[in-house]
Chains A and B, each alone.
Chain A
Amino acid sequence: MRARTRAVVTGVGVVSAWGWGREPFWDGISGGGTAIGPFSRFDHAGYRTHVAGEVPPPPSSLPEAIPGWPRLSWADRFAVAAAREALAEAGLLAAAGPSPDLAAAGLFFASSTGGMLEGEEFYLRLRGAAAGRAALRWIATQPVSSPAEAVARAFGVAGPVETVSSACASGTIALGRALDALRSGEAELALAGGADSLCRTTYGGFNSLRSVDEEPCRPFLRERGGLSIGEGGAVLVLETAERAAARGARVLAELTGAGSTSDAGHMTAPHPEGAGAARALAAALADARVEPAEVAFVNAHGTGTPLNDVAEGRALAAVLGNGAAPVAVTSIKGAVGHLLGSAGAVEAAATVLSLARGTVPPTAGRGELDPETGVDLVRTARVAAPGVAVSLNLAFGGCNAALVFAPAAADRAAAPAAG
C-alpha cells in the first residue's frame, strides 16, 4: 500500500466540569468520581432535572491572559482557553501576538450551541422575561461558528477555519476533517476541537425527550436513567509526522483513521442494532488499515440512555467481537457529562491522553453493569493493553462517527503501524 501522510497529536487542551485544564480533567476522569452536580449557568427552576456537568469559575489569571474576555461567550472562552493550553503543550504558543506557524494552519471545530446561552439572554430580555435591555452584545456571539472564529482570531490562524454542527458526532467529524486536510496537503498543521456551553434550549430540549437522568448519568449500567448534559471544550494540535519530527515536537499519539455514516432511520433514536455506528467503526478501522483484533480499548459514546448503550454495545460486538473476550470499553460521560457537539473533541482528548499515559480511565457510576450492553466496562483505571484505541460517537439525527488513534510510534509494542 502506498505511504500516506501521517497525522500526529502534539498538544491537548481541555476545559471541563473538572476545571480549566488538561490535568484536572485527566485526574478527574482517572479518579472514577463524577463532576456532574448542581449548576448555576442559568436558572433551571421549572426544568425536570437539576444536575449538569458545569465548568467551574475560571482561575483569575485566565480572563487577564485572554484578550477580549468580557465580550466572549462561554463557549468562546472554553474554546480559546483549550486552544491556548494545547498550543502551549505543542510549543506553538507565541509570547505575544499570533504565532507565525499558524498562518497556514487549519482549524476544524465543532459546536452544537455556540453562543446560544447568551442568545437566550438576549431573547429573554426582548420578550420582557428578564430584566435589562436586549443589548446587541448578547446576540453578537450567537453563531455556532463563533468559538472557532474566536480561536482563529486569538491565535492568528489563517488557513481554512470550519465548524461542524452535526450534534453529538460533530467533534469526531471535525477531527476526521483535520485528518483529511493533513493527508491531502491542504495543511501541515491543524487545530481540531470543539466547545459548548450549557443552555436552556439543549437542557430543556433533551428534557422534553425525557432523556435526562435526574441523577448523574450511569453509562452502561442497569440502573441508568438517561444522559447528563455537560459543557466545556477541547482542542488537539495535529500536524504531519514529518513536521513534528523536524521540529522535535513530542508526539502524544497518532490519528490513523476516521469514518462516518448516517443511520438514515430516525431523528432521535439510534438504530437498535447500532448498524450505522458499526459501519462507521468499520470504516474508521479500514481507513486506519488495522484489524479489529488490534483495538485495545474503546472510548465509547456511552450516554447512559437506555437505547444508546445497548445499540452501541451491539455495534461494538458486531465489529470487534470475534469470539474472544469483548474489548475494554469506557465512557467519560459519567464524569463530565455529554458535551453535545464538542463531546467528540473532549473524548478524543481523553483517548489521546489514555494512549500517551498508558491508562484507560474508568467509567463513573455505581451499580451493576447491564449485561444486555455486552461490554467489558472499565470500572477502575486499567493499564492500556497494547494496540490502538477507538473513539466512537452516535449522534442525534442519526450521524455516527469513529476515530482510530495509535500510540506514538516509539511506544508501539504491537505490529508495525500501517501507512
Chain B
Amino acid sequence: MSGTGGSAAGGRVVVTGLGLVGAWGLGLEPLAAALLAGEPLAGPVDRGAAASVPPRAGRGVEVAARVPPDLSLEPWLSRREARRMSPPSRFAVAAGRMALGAAGLPVGPGAGADPPDPDLGVVFATAYGASSFTQGMLDQAIDEEPEAMSPYLFMESVANAPAGQAAIHCRAGGPNETLCQREAGPPAAVGRGAALVAAGRARRVLAGAVEEITPLLLSVLDRFGALSARPRPFDRRRDGFLAAEGSTLLLLERDDDARARGAEPLAAVRARGGAFDPTAPRNDWGRGGAAVAAAIARGLAREGLGPGDVDAVVSGASGARRGDRFEAELLRELFGPAGPPPVLAPKRVTGEYGGAYLAAALLALAGRPAGPAAGFSEPDPELGVVPHGGGAVQGVSRVLVTGSAAGGSAAWVILESPGTVQR
C-alpha cells in the first residue's frame, strides 16, 4: 500500500467533484435516493436479441441495471458530440464533464481552452470494454464480409475509447490510462489516479469506472452462473450479482489547488493498494481473503494507521457466492475477533460494474443515511457478516473501500473526510 497523504506533492490528494451516469439517471441525488429506498436498480433486458446465448443455458436472468436508453445526457453531452461514440464513451464523457463542473473546473469545448490541459489526467477502469461495438464488427464480418467492418465501430471498440473521448471532450492532456481489472477496477482506478497526483505526474485526474452491459454479455455471465435479479450481499441465500452499466468518475486533485480555487473537498484519498489471490480460479473468487487482508494491514501500518482507524467499510460484495465469501474472509482477518466496523454493501442496489458504489462511500463520509440492507434476511454463518441496514453510520471519518475480482485481483482505497487531521 502506498501513501497519498501529506507527503504527496501539493499536500493531500482530495476529491472535489463527482459525476455519475447509471440506471438511476444522472448525478448523485437520484442515486442517493435509490440507495435510501434499498431496492435493486434492475430493469428488463431483451435477451432474445440475435446471437444471445439461449436463456435455458443459464439461470435465465433477464435483468440488469442499465442506463435508460432514452436518457438524455444533456447538458453534459450533446447528440452532435455523441455522433460517433459508443455507449461507454457517452457515459464517461458525460460523467467526466459532470465531475469537472462539480469541482468548479472548465468542462470542455465551449467552456475550456484549446490546447488541452497538460495537468489533467484520466484513469478509467472497465471490465469488458465496448462490447456492443465489438460485437457489431463481428456481425458485419459474418453477415456481410470482413471488408465490411466499420471504422466507426473499430475506433470505439478499444477498451481505451472512453478515456480517449474523455481526453478530447474534457480537454485532458495529461496521463491517460485504462485499467482492465474486472470487479476490482473502481478502487484500483481511484488509487492509481491518486498516485499520479501524489507523484506529481498530474495535478488533477478524472478517475473511476465505465461499463456497458449488452444482451450477449448478460447471457454469457448468466451461463457462468454469475447473475441474480435479486442480489443479496452476505446473505446465506445469495445467488449472484446484478449486472450494471454506466460511469462513476471522481475528480481528484492536489489539496493546495483545491484550496486556491475555493473548492470544497468531499474526501481525501488517504491510502491505496492492491493484491492478488493466486488461489482464485480464472473466473471465480478463491480462498485467499486472509492473505489480502494481511496486505491491507501492512499498508495501513505504513500509513501509521491500524484497522481500528477504519470507521466503516464500503464493501465490493455484490451477492456473488464466492465473491462475498472472499470479502467476508478478508474482513474477518483484517478486523479480528472484534469484528469489522459497520459494513455497507451498496451493490445490492447499484449492481456490479460501473463503479457506482464509490459514490456510496462518499455519501457515508458525508454522514448521509445508508439505506436498508434490503434483501438481507438470513446471515450466512460461514461469512459472519451482517451488513449495516438503515440510518447514517455515525462518526465516520475514514472509510475502507474494497474491491475484489473474479480471477484473483483485489484493490482498495481509504477515503477520509476532509476535516480529518493528518496523522
Contact = CB atoms under 8 A, between A and B. Distances in A.
A83 B327 CA distance: 29
Contact of A267 (B129, B145, B155, B276): B155
Contacts of A184: 2-3, 195, 199
B178 interface: yes
B189 to A, nearest CB: 10
Contacts of A26: none
Contacts of B174: 261-262
Interface stretch (A138-146, A216-224, A248-256): A138-146
Interface in B61-82: none
A60 interface: no
Contact of A209 (B154, B179, B282): B154
Given A107-B276, A143-B127, A260-B175, A397 B164 contact: yes
Contacts of B48: none
Interface string A358-399: 000000000000000000000000000000000000011111
A398 B179 contact: no
A264 B168 contact: yes
Nearest to B173: A264
Interface in B323-341: none
Among B3, B199, B274: residue with most chain A CB under 10 A:
B274
Nearest to B171: A264
Contacts of A140: 282-283
Contact of B128 (A143, A153, A183, A279): A143
Nearest to A159: B275
A171 B55 CA distance: 39
B160 interface: yes
A162 B283 CA distance: 16
Nearest to A185: B2
**Interface size class of chain A, counting residues whose CB lies under 8 Å from the partner chain:** 35 or more
Contact of A205 (B127, B137, B192, B277): B137
Among A149, A266, A268: residue with most chain B CB under 10 A:
A149
A126 interface: yes
Contact of B176 (A107, A181, A399): A399
B110 interface: no
A157 interface: yes
B316 interface: no
A319 to B, nearest CB: 14
Among B135, B142, B150, B158: residue with most chain A CB under 10 A:
B158
A46 B277 contact: no
B304 interface: no
Interface string A105-124: 01100011010000010011
B45 interface: no
B159 A112 contact: yes
Contacts of B180: 111, 114, 143-145, 163-165
A262 B129 CA distance: 19
A158 B277 contact: yes
B138 A266 contact: no
Interface in A39-72: 44, 46-48, 71
A37 to B, nearest CB: 20
A211 B255 CA distance: 44
Nearest to B137: A201
Contacts of B220: 139
A53 B283 CA distance: 30
B188 interface: yes
Interface in B284-310: 288, 291, 295, 302
B147 A46 contact: yes
Interface in B141-157: 141-142, 145-147, 149-151, 153-157
Contacts of B409: 145, 149, 161-162
A21 to B, nearest CB: 26
Interface in A194-241: 200-201, 204-209
A318 interface: no
Contact of B149 (A153, A205, A266): A205
A276 interface: yes
A166 B115 contact: no
A165 B168 contact: no
Contacts of B175: 173, 260-262
A180 B164 CA distance: 23
Contact of B276 (A160, A208, A276): A160
B177 interface: yes
B276 A145 contact: no
A201 to B, nearest CB: 6
Contacts of B387: none
Contact of B179 (A158, A163, A201): A163
B7 to A, nearest CB: 10
A48 B141 contact: no
Contacts of A107: 276
Interface in B43-59: 51, 53
Contacts of A309: none
A160 B181 CA distance: 11
A136 interface: yes
A76 B128 CA distance: 17
A144 B125 CA distance: 12
B43 to A, nearest CB: 24
A160 B411 contact: yes
B116 interface: yes
Contacts of A276: 173
Contacts of B153: 205
Nearest to B122: A262
A375 B282 CA distance: 45
Contacts of B177: 164, 166, 173, 177, 260, 399
A396 B3 CA distance: 32
A283 B280 CA distance: 38
A326 interface: no
Interface string B116-138: 10100010001111000011011
B408 interface: yes
Nearest to A260: B175
A112 B168 contact: no
A167 interface: yes
B168 A161 contact: no
B80 to A, nearest CB: 16
A24 interface: no
15 contacts: A46-B145, A46-B147, A145-B181, A145-B407, A159-B275, A163-B180, A166-B163, A166-B178, A167-B160, A184-B2, A184-B195, A204-B141, A204-B149, A262-B176, A397-B164
Given A145-B182, A149-B407, 15 more contacts: A44-B146, A46-B141, A123-B51, A127-B138, A156-B278, A158-B295, A163-B181, A166-B163, A166-B176, A205-B153, A209-B155, A259-B201, A262-B174, A267-B155, A399-B160
Interface of A: 44, 46-48, 71, 98, 106-107, 111-112, 114, 120, 123-124, 126-127, 129, 134, 136, 139-141, 143-146, 149-150, 152-153, 156-167, 173, 177, 180-181, 183-186, 200-201, 204-209, 259-268, 275-276, 279, 283, 395-399
